[in-house]
Amino acid sequence: MRVGVYYSNSDVRVETRPKPAIGPGELLVKVMASGVCGSDVMEWYRKKKAPIVLGHEISGDIVEVGAGVSAYKRGDRVFVSHHVPCNTCKYCLAGNHTVCNTLHTTNFDPGGFSEYLRVPKINVDRGVFLLPDEVSYAQGTFIEPLACVLRAQRKAAAPIGSTVLVLGAGISGLLHIALAKALGAGRIIATDISEARLAHALNFGADHVFDARQDVPALLRQVNDGKAADLVLVCTGALSAFMQGILCVERGATFVVFAPTDPGITLPVPVNDFWRNGITITHAYGAGPLDIEQALTLIRFKRVLVDRMITHQLGLSQIQKAFDLVAGADQSIKVIIEPQK
């Protein structure tokens, strides 16, 4: 079978490998669509693991079923979660599934940028979700990223009618905007340094957009009745965005670290101001089973219109172009690889 092997952002090769053989309790899935995530082009993180077959936002068809599997059959259309929690450790029992040791050590074989993948037994047990007829393969690639976004906003628990500030209007920022709109945000403001991304932010529900190089804290207050934001979501790894976001948090509000920085970056926080003003700093990494189920429901019933975010659907032979588009940022929103083409 053909696979897309990552060596670096500028060196992603189509190679041939044997089709995975499955064992008892496992599934073989024919990959029909696999989204390119922003984390796939995070070179400082990915290159040290190269060569590797990436791709974790997948949908496809079950083509082989291992002995003992009764919940699924050949021909089922599915989304498969690459990381799954144990559901029994102290972290999972406390609702912190994304810090579970099992979640950080599970994956499918080899990765979504391949014609076929093997779903291990533990992923079959708790990481396979049937796609309703209303959800296309392309829409299915949004289940995982939307689940991550949903988890972040659920943790923040911003009341309906809140003012939401999204710093960084790439695909994760746009999903945050669309979800905040669906969940009843009162006012949504977005920032970026790209005019194209700011235009997309308006298109997906932002009420105001600002160039991040401007005085965002002042502009925010001008359009928000003199107040800062009730929820600040940092969706870019630029330290300047984190520093800007700290100046944009209203009393009693929540500051969410959604994107990582480069390694070794330290964020200085005005501790006394945050203490006195009751500001919460939290993080959001990954998604748990409940987040995935809810994201699938939101897509199924068109509460978040992910179709409009798809700008490129490319065959596996064009995987280098896909990585160039995502790494370049301005020319695309969501890029999807279709390995069977």
What integer pLDDT is reported at residue 158 of this predicted model?
A: 94
Burial class for 261, CB neighbours closer than 10 Å (0-12, 13-18, 19+):
middle
Q: Give pTM, 2 decimals.
A: 0.96
Measure the CA–CA gap between 152 and 158, rounded to whole angstroms: 10
- The rounded average pLDDT for each run of 10 residues, N- to C-terminus, in the chain (341 residues) is 97 98 98 96 92 98 98 98 97 96 96 98 98 98 98 95 97 98 97 96 98 98 98 96 97 96 92 95 94 98 96 98 92 96 94
Contact, 135 vs 118, CB < 8 A?
Answer: no
Distance CA 176, CA 310 (A): 16
Cα–Cα distance for residue pair 298/310, rounded to 1 Å: 17
- Domain boundaries in the chain? 2-131+305-338, 149-283
| Contact yes or no for 17/74 (Cβ under 8 A) | no
Distance CA 64, CA 24 (A): 11
Helices within the chain (DSSP H only): 43-46, 90-93, 121-126, 137-140, 143-156, 171-182, 195-203, 216-223, 239-246, 271-276, 289-300, 319-328
Distance CA 130, CA 73 (A): 11
Select from 96, 71, 75, 76 the least CA-distant residue to 86: 96
Q: Considering only the top CATH level, what class is 2-131+305-338?
A: alpha beta
Task: Please report the pLDDT score of residue 52 as a whole number.
Answer: 97
Given 3.40.50.720, 3.40.50.300, 3.60.21.10, 3.40.50.620, which CATH number is that of 149-283? 3.40.50.720
